[in-house]
Chain A
Amino acid sequence: MVGFKAAFLNEAVKLTKKKKLLVAAILSTLAVMIGQLAVTTIKHGLGLRVVGSVEFPIVVLQFFSYTILPLFATFVAIDMFNGESAMNTMKLTLLRPVSRFGVFSAKVLNLALFIAGILLFVMIISMLAGFIFNPSTASLSGVFKVFASYVLTFFPVFVFALIVVVLANVIQGGLAVFFLSILVFIAFNFLGIVFSAYSSFFVTSMFDWYFLWTSESINLFKIMRQVLILASCGMMLFTTGFYLFDRKDI
């Protein structure tokens, strides 16, 4: 446990000391600001109300969950595995009294925290922007919907990040993993549209699954199916990733 705790804290320190976190925060803020600017311009220019205060964070989430979030999750996952291997710093952790499972779990947990942290950050600033520019449309149920949507987005994005982790442990080069991850992302989106009956198996099509939970009529069977698919994909990808990481010669 001492080893896991140390590895977890060290991964967190490494993550915060790198510029990726700052860049992700700046880009997220910019995306929210540009979105709010567009909404305000349309409202004042054309007299149309595009979104209310609690709808704005959902619009931001729709854009954010398909662009900046998976992109930065991919960057961080590649950095944690391929980046450390390329810089020869992976051994610095592995030579300490900690199991490979401890190191792998610490990395994956930090990746999860990164995704959750960025989502929380975007949720807060988009809600603030929504409340500042459209205070009249605020409601408690709307806030709850926003919160639920952001929390639910975490799961499919995390499972996608686990796909990147698996790729990072199969392929040595970080650049190759990055392009392959983008290809997988595009292919999953495309296949999700073409084979819509099987879209639940392409995890990227679940990035907006919060609509299932927050819509007027809730389809419990479909939600249950999606939850089980996500959970099983997550477990399989985590196990595969660890198996590959454990077998790796440094």
Chain B
Amino acid sequence: MSVKAIEISGLTKSFKNGRGISELNLSVDQGDVFGFLGPNGAGKTTAMKMITGLMKPDRGDVKIFGVSVIEDYVNAMKHVGCLIETAESYPYLTANENLKLFARFYPEVDQRRIDECLEITGMLKYKNEKTQKFSLGMKQRMGIAAAILSRPKLLILDEPLNGLDVEGMLEMRKLIKRLSQEGTTFFISSHLIHDVELTCTRIGIVYGGRLVNVEYTDNILSYYSSLENYFVSEVDRNGRV
């Protein structure tokens, strides 16, 4: 049995306002394109932040390729690329300089790879421009370029299509398909349910801080006409009017 890409056990985090994540248990197989869905405030970003170590859980553990994020963060994150919450960059640096900073963490990443990532995301022509003048979509493309820079085995993307134009969305969808065929595992949260339906192979729905269901997209679509119907039915079933 191969090692799971992500293995979450009993992950719990509660905030003062009563929201958070409660007893999240989930595993993502290598090669999966996992869609993490849920209404606003359900706890998707909180879960993603705990998976990537930005937030410390009250309880539970996350293992990435068998390595605990809490016990051995450096090795757990070695093969992970992330885009969490918002795509940020250092505004006083150019796109190229930004990626050069990130490249220092990966000895195998050179200037050619940086240019390749900028090319993939359509940002090569803005390589020497400072990112402070970038639009939301351009910043998002930069965030994606930074996430794929080290050729990670696992990509954790929080709302990767945020701010992208139609062309950008189509390119992003193609990129996910291509990388997943090459063996990259994806863990994606998105509000754009149609895109999730087209790209993700497995879906997990989180509601009120709890994981309410995990199912393969093919199975869902054999019972429901669309992922949207499945999502609405699951959310309704779990108490939302």
Interface residues of A (CB under 8 A from B): 2-3, 5-7, 9-10, 13-14, 17-18, 87-89, 91-92, 94-100, 102, 247, 249-250
C-alpha gap A18/B132 in the complex (Å): 14
In this complex, the member of B49, B85, B88, B105 whose beta carbon has the largest number of chain A beta carbons within 10 angstroms is B105
Complex partner residue of A95 from B56, B77, B86, CB under 8 angstroms? B77
CB of B74 within 8 A of CB of A99, answer: yes
CB of A97 within 8 A of CB of B78, answer: yes
- CB-CB under 8 A for A96 and B102, given A3-B74, A91-B88: yes
C-alpha gap A14/B74 in the complex (Å): 22
C-alpha gap A63/B173 in the complex (Å): 61
Which residues from A are CB-within-8-Å of B146?
A: 92
Complex partner residue of A249 from B56, B93, B102, B104, CB under 8 angstroms? B56
Q: Quick one: which of B57-92 are within 8 Å of A by CB?
A: 73-75, 77-78, 80, 82, 84-86, 88-92
CB distance from A250 to the nearest CB of B (A): 4
CB of B105 within 8 A of CB of A92, answer: no
Main secondary structure of the interface of B (DSSP, over half): loop
CB of A96 within 8 A of CB of B105, answer: yes
Pull 13 A–B residue pairs with CB atoms less than 8 Å apart, ordered by A. A5-B104, A9-B104, A13-B97, A17-B90, A17-B92, A18-B92, A91-B84, A97-B74, A99-B73, A99-B74, A249-B49, A249-B55, A249-B56
The count of residues in chain B whose C-beta lies closer than 8 Å to any C-beta of chain A is 30
C-alpha gap A87/B132 in the complex (Å): 11
User: A6-B104, A95-B82 provided; 8 other pairs, C-beta below 8 A?
Assistant: A13-B101, A91-B88, A92-B146, A95-B54, A95-B80, A96-B77, A99-B74, A100-B73
Main secondary structure of the interface of A (DSSP, over half): helix
CB of A87 within 8 A of CB of B88, answer: yes
| In the assembled complex, B239 has its CB within 8 A of some CB on chain A | no
Which residues from A are CB-within-8-Å of B77?
A: 95-97
CB of A3 within 8 A of CB of B88, answer: no
Complex partner residue of B107 from A2, A10, A89, A100, CB under 8 angstroms? A2
C-alpha gap A250/B54 in the complex (Å): 5
Which residues from A are CB-within-8-Å of B105?
A: 2-3, 6-7, 96-98
Which residues from B are CB-within-8-Å of A98?
A: 74, 105
Q: Smallest CB-CB separation from A88: which chain B residue? A: B88
Which residues from B are CB-within-8-Å of A5?
A: 104
Which residues from B are CB-within-8-Å of A18?
A: 92
Complex partner residue of A91 from B54, B80, B93, CB under 8 angstroms? B54
Complex partner residue of B55 from A87, A88, A92, A250, CB under 8 angstroms? A250
Which residues from B are CB-within-8-Å of A250?
A: 49, 54-55
C-alpha gap A250/B101 in the complex (Å): 20
CB of A17 within 8 A of CB of B102, answer: no
CB distance from A242 to the nearest CB of B (A): 14
Which residues from B are CB-within-8-Å of A88?
A: 85-86, 88
- CB-CB under 8 A for A94 and B54, given A2-B107, A10-B101, A249-B49: yes
| In the assembled complex, B52 has its CB within 8 A of some CB on chain A | yes
| In the assembled complex, B163 has its CB within 8 A of some CB on chain A | no
| In the assembled complex, B137 has its CB within 8 A of some CB on chain A | no
| In the assembled complex, B53 has its CB within 8 A of some CB on chain A | yes
C-alpha gap A58/B190 in the complex (Å): 62
Which residues from B are CB-within-8-Å of A94?
A: 53-54
Which residues from B are CB-within-8-Å of A99?
A: 73-74
5 closest A-B pairs (Cβ-Cβ)?
A6-B104, A250-B54, A96-B105, A97-B77, A249-B55
- CB-CB under 8 A for A92 and B74, given A247-B56, A249-B54, A249-B55: no
C-alpha gap A97/B82 in the complex (Å): 11
CB of A10 within 8 A of CB of B53, answer: no
C-alpha gap A42/B101 in the complex (Å): 51
- CB-CB under 8 A for A95 and B84, given A247-B56, A249-B49, A250-B55: yes
C-alpha gap A5/B82 in the complex (Å): 21
- CB-CB under 8 A for A92 and B90, given A6-B105, A250-B49: yes
C-alpha gap A158/B239 in the complex (Å): 56
C-alpha gap A87/B86 in the complex (Å): 11
Q: Smallest CB-CB separation from A6: which chain B residue? A: B104
- CB-CB under 8 A for A92 and B104, given A3-B74, A97-B74: no
Which residues from B are CB-within-8-Å of A89?
A: 88-90
